[in-house]
Amino acid sequence: MSALPIQGLAMKKILLVDDDPELRQLLATYLGRHGFDTLLLADTRQLDAYIERYQPHLVVLDLMLPGEDGLAACRRLRARGETLPIIMLTARDEPVDRVIGLEMGADDYVGKPFDPRELVARIEAVLRRGTQPPGSPDTKGGVFNFGDCCFDRSTRQLSRAGELVALTSGEFALLNTLVANANRPMKRERLLELTRGDESESFDRAIDVQIHRLRRLLEADPAHPRYLQTVWGVGYVFVPDGEPAPGPEK
């Protein structure tokens, strides 16, 4: 019996890039039964053209590819301002590989071998982050200015020195949560809960990696952050202009 399309996600376009033809066909069939229209590529040579032509809602990108590997492709897409959600696939399911994938801008990570049901669950979760709270625009958030940055929470846009800065849905959710709780130290576990909802598979380092990425985007000196500060023994805090850094929670 075929699974019914997920409500609200029917016919979302997924671009799957993997050099294993059997896996590509297996996942295309499985994803199709779950309401996804799947586009297939064996490598990244046509990746940019497919994104421009078909405008997929999400890319599933294998790490180990001939020619340009998945990490390099992910880094290149993010460097040019592409915010399309990306889930990395790899046979090397080690924590360090997941961290590297997230540092390159991936939204999530699935290690091979995996149950196709896990991939569907991750796709649905990432798409929810991109279309619903906490990753959706904060219509009541307004505009927040700090340093040379302007963070428009209602349109999900960040600019620095007048130039737009691309944020993934996860990065927006994290920055929006920290700005909304300015001067309030936030534990990593709480940040995971607020920015990733009910996803139990998230791991603690995910927040650290996204903080590192945001600091590179926002801070004049990422090694000595002014706005996204670490509160030792707790987690992180957003400190607005002119405000003293708070101490740890009591």
Residue-wise pLDDT for 162-213, tens only, equals: 888 888 777 888 898 899 889 999 888 888 877 765 444 455 577 888 899 8
pTM for this one?
0.59
Dihedral angle of Cα 110, 114, 120, 123, to the nearest 10 degrees: 10
Instruction: Name the domain count of the chain.
Output: 2
Structural domain contains residue 67: yes
Q: Is-contact 99 205, C-beta < 8 A?
A: yes
Same domain as 179, residue 114? no
Q: What is the CATH classification number for the domain harbouring 165?
A: 1.10.10.10
Task: Tell me the C-alpha distance between 123 and 57, whole Å.
Answer: 10
**Hunting for tokens 């798409």 — which residue is that?**
127
Q: What is the CATH classification number for the domain harbouring 122?
A: 3.40.50.2300
Task: Tell me the C-alpha distance between 145 and 148, whole Å.
Answer: 8
Same domain as 158, residue 121? no
Task: Tell me which residue range forms the domain holding 161.
Answer: 143-238
Instruction: Quick: pLDDT tens for 231-240.
Output: 988 899 999 8
Stretch among 76-90, 119-133, 134-148 having the lowest mean pLDDT: 134-148
